[in-house]
Amino acid sequence: MWIRTDLAVEMKEDIKGEEPIKGVRVSTKNNGDTDILETRIIVETEEGAANLGKPIGTYITLESDHLREHDDTYHEPMAEVLSKILKSFLGRRKKILVAGLGNREVTPDALGPLVIDNLYITRHLLREGIISHSNEVSAIAPGVMAQTGMESLAILKAVLNEVKPEFVIVIDALAARKSDRLNKTIQLADTGIAPGSGVGNHRNAINEESLGVPVLAIGVPTVISVPTIVNDAMDMMVEMIGKNGFKDVLERFSEEERYKLACEMVDPFMEDMFVTPKDIDEAVKRISYTISEAINKAALA
Across 84-110, b (16+ Cβ under 10 Å) vs e yields: ebbeebbeeeebbbbbbbbbbeebbbb
Residue pLDDT, tens place only, 137-146:
999 999 888 8
H or E segment to which residue 162 belongs: helix 152-163
CA–CA dist 104, 148 (Å, integer): 13
Q: Where does 8-219+276-299 sit in CATH, by number?
A: 3.40.50.1450
Closest C-alpha among 228, 142, 269 to residue 193: 142
Q: Calculate the average pLDDT of the chain.
A: 85
Give the start-to-end residue ranges of the domains of the chain. Answer: 8-219+276-299, 228-270
Closest C-alpha among 114, 99, 220 to residue 160: 99
Residue pLDDT, tens place only, 246-289:
556 566 666 666 666 666 655 555 556 778 888 899 999 999 99
Mean pLDDT across 160-166: 95
Residue pLDDT, tens place only, 213-242:
999 999 999 998 877 777 666 665 566 555
CA–CA dist 255, 45 (Å, integer): 25
